Amino acid sequence: MTDIATILAKPAKAQAFSLFLAERGCDVLPASNEWELLRFRAGRRVNVVYRDKRGQLSPVGPDIVPAVKAFSTSGPWRAEPAHPRKKDSARRRHLRAALLKRDGDECFYCGLPLGDAGTFEDLLSVTHGGRQCLANLALAHQPCNLKAGHLSVVEKVRLRERMRAEHGK
């Protein structure tokens, strides 16, 4: 993993690598915590390079090594394209109906009515090991969902308490 360490050690090279990733179909994402040096989405997969307290790097994701190798050798590499999700699939309709029955027609965060505007909120995000199953899902307004971002479950519950207090819920 010395190649990734060399690339990320110098800001100019790290910026060039980020540009390389973006040019090849990746979404370069902001770090979600202090230990992340690099986060990018290739297709539907999120890849992360972490640095621990001792400075050791840990790549997590199948696209990091091939991308680094291609960048280092000026070889060909392209991110796997994201397969568009069917917005109105039968599974999504079933999940939405089950969530409405379980939680009612209100946003998980602010408590205001959802109407047709609800988005799925992963309580434990998929990037942190959560699954997209009924026990891990709630419905939320898109702006509320965006505020939650990559917070931990505990931080999401605290955000919910603050937002509901603001709205008198």
Task: Note the pLDDT of residue 107.
Answer: 94
* pLDDT surpassing 60 at residue 99: yes
CATH number of 90-166: 1.10.30.50
**For residues 87 and 155, which has the higher predicted lDDT (pLDDT)?**
155
Give residue-wise pLDDT tens across range 138-157. 999 989 988 888 788 899 99
**Domains of the chain by residue range:** 2-73, 90-166
**How deeply is 99 buried, as exposed, middle or buried, from its count of CB atoms within 10 A (0-12, 13-18, 19+)?**
buried
Alpha-carbon distances of 39 from 22, 76, 105, rounded to whole Å: 12, 21, 34
The answer to whether residues 122 and 133 touch, using CB atoms and an 8 Å cutoff, is no
Calculate what percentage of the chain has a pLDDT beyond 90. Answer: 41
Task: Note the pLDDT of residue 137.
Answer: 92
Task: Note the pLDDT of residue 88.
Answer: 59
Give residue-wise pLDDT tens across range 35-52. 999 999 888 889 999 998
Task: Note the pLDDT of residue 32.
Answer: 85
Residues β-bridged to residue 58: 50
Find where tokens 């070889």 sit: 75
Give residue-wise pLDDT tens across range 16-35. 999 999 888 888 998 888 89
The answer to whether residues 129 and 91 touch, using CB atoms and an 8 Å cutoff, is no
pLDDT band, residue 8 (cuts 50/70/90): confident
Task: Note the pLDDT of residue 117.
Answer: 78
Alpha-carbon distances of 47 from 41, 91, 166, rounded to whole Å: 6, 27, 36
CATH number of 2-73: 3.30.310.10
**What is the overall mean pLDDT for the chain?**
87
pLDDT band, residue 94 (cuts 50/70/90): confident
